[in-house]
Amino acid sequence: MDTATDVETLHQGVEKIESVLRENGPVAEKIRRLPDASVNAMREAGLYRMWTPKALGGLEIDPVSGVDLFEKIARVDAAAGWNLYMSVTPSVFGMWLSDDGAREVFAGEPMMAGALFPPASAVPAEGGYRVSGRVPFVSGCHAATWLILAAVVIEDGEPKRTADGVPVSLLAFVPRADAGIIDNWDTLGMRGTGSHDIAITDLFVPEDRAPVFAPFADDPPGSAFQGPLYRMVFWEAAPGLASIALGIARAAIEDVVQLARVKTPAYTGTPLRERPAAQSQIAQAEGHRAAAWAYLRETLAAAYATTCETGRVLTTDQRRDIQLAACHAVQAAATAVRLVHEVAGSSAIRNSQPFAAHFRNVHTVTQHAFTSASRYESVGQLMLGLPPEWPFFAF
């Protein structure tokens, strides 16, 4: 199939599984992980293969279509959208693998999970490394078949360093069965994502699954990762995360519109939909959401067009622009949900209504390092000609 057909099929798949995701959303909240029914539904719809290279059995769709799908699922179930994003996005890190390593990791239909901070330690051993560490926020770790961790090479008890004094870092691709899950995901929101800590101790990881993690000039190292999607490196990641927040905002707006049609606030005789304050705040919420969504998609599309036309990786200015659009989108989504929260009144505090979950979930998303308010500082540093403290601008 061509890419357009793949994207259309994926959208149709989301529509077919919507009832399964919606039904299992409350279950995910209760058990603090995504139920198998939700995972299996998304797998059967082909969603986990969207950013895997075609050469390795994936669909390799464009990044804008990818964030469209994340947003669409997050409108139905925020945790399902998040976990799909957190499984799909790590697949692009396969570009650092050797071809043999990539064939091993992507055999069958792998389910990815991972986190990059804090890094584990990797002690050189014959043919590879002995890796140990504990990493938090590993969303979807229960369903994963592979984990991706950052690891610093340790020699003689100290980090090995490059000529520039930078610690040598690896990406360790580890079978999920070789890691332990530490059940500690107990949070304000996004409870259904199962983002527990994982730990490994003195685990041997062969060189083919432990490539050096460093920026490359133009061509991704892996031969299966030469398409324009991978010239984005991982700059579809922040927009993907932002799309989850915007999906939550869209769901909140749709829900409050439905509420306003039937609710008359206590001690008043004026239906909610006829109150000027409600009308204004609902319109403002939609304005924040829609403008941020358009800005995010436009910025991402422009960057992807560059990789298609030039075959080169993004410039620092393009990375900066994507980062700004993603930060703005998350903050705009939170603003929209806060406006909805005010309009909903006492309905917003009842767990029998969806508004409390929207509020908790979107404000949990705002704390992710890739799109938190702190990234505005990182963008501002670049705008002012200062060296950015955000290390991923180098990729």
199 and 317, same domain (yes or no): no
The first and second tokens of residue 21, run together, are 């995701």
CA pair distance 395, 382, nearest whole angstrom: 15
Return contacts of 200-204, CB within 8 angstroms, 24+ apart: 200/120, 200/131, 200/132, 200/133, 200/149, 200/174, 201/132, 202/130, 202/131, 202/132, 203/130, 203/131, 203/132, 203/174, 203/178, 203/179, 204/125, 204/128, 204/129, 204/130, 204/131
CA distances from 143 to 40, 45, 129 (A): 10, 16, 25
In whole angstroms, what is the distance from residue 70 CA to residue 134 CA?
Answer: 28
Residue matched to tokens 């299996």 = 40
- For residue 204, give both structure tokens: 């041997």
The one-letter amino acid at 268: T
Q: Dump pLDDT digits (tens) for 50-82.
A: 999 999 999 999 999 999 999 999 999 999 999
Tell me the C-alpha to C-alpha distance, in Å, between residue 160 and each of 41, 199, 298: 44, 22, 41
| Structural domain includes residue 102 | no
pLDDT score for 4? 77
| Residue 5, pLDDT above cutoff 70 | yes
Number of domain units in the chain: 3
Confidence of residue 2 (pLDDT cuts 50, 70, 90): low
Mean pLDDT for the stretch of residues 364-373? 96
Q: Is residue 101 part of a domain?
A: no
pLDDT per position as a tens digit, 255-300: 999 999 999 998 888 999 999 999 999 999 999 999 999 999 999 9
Predicted model pTM? 0.96
The per-residue pLDDT for range 294-311, each reduced to its tens digit, is 999 999 999 999 999 999
Identify the three-state secondary structure at position 9. Answer: helix
Same domain, 159 and 78: no
Indicate whether 99 belongs to any domain. no
Residue 14 has pLDDT above 60, yes or no: yes
DSSP 46-61: TGGGTTS-GGGT----
Provide the residue range defining the domain that includes 189. 112-214
pLDDT digits (tens, 9 = 90+) for 163-177: 888 999 999 999 999
Assess whether 369 and 316 both reside in one domain: yes
277 within domain boundaries: yes
| Domain assignment present for 105 | no
The reply to whether 9 falls in a domain is yes
Kindly state whether residues 304 and 247 are assigned to the same domain. Answer: yes
What are the Cα distances from residue 76, in Å, to 21, 73, 158, 256, 265? 7, 5, 48, 15, 27
Residue 313: inside a domain? yes
Residue where a domain terminates, one of 169, 186, 214: 214
CATH number for position 59:
1.10.540.10
User: Residue 188 is part of a domain; what is its CATH number?
Assistant: 2.40.110.10
Which residues on adjacent β-strands are paired with residue 155?
A: 158
Whether the CB-CB separation of 299 and 325 falls below 8 Å is answered with yes
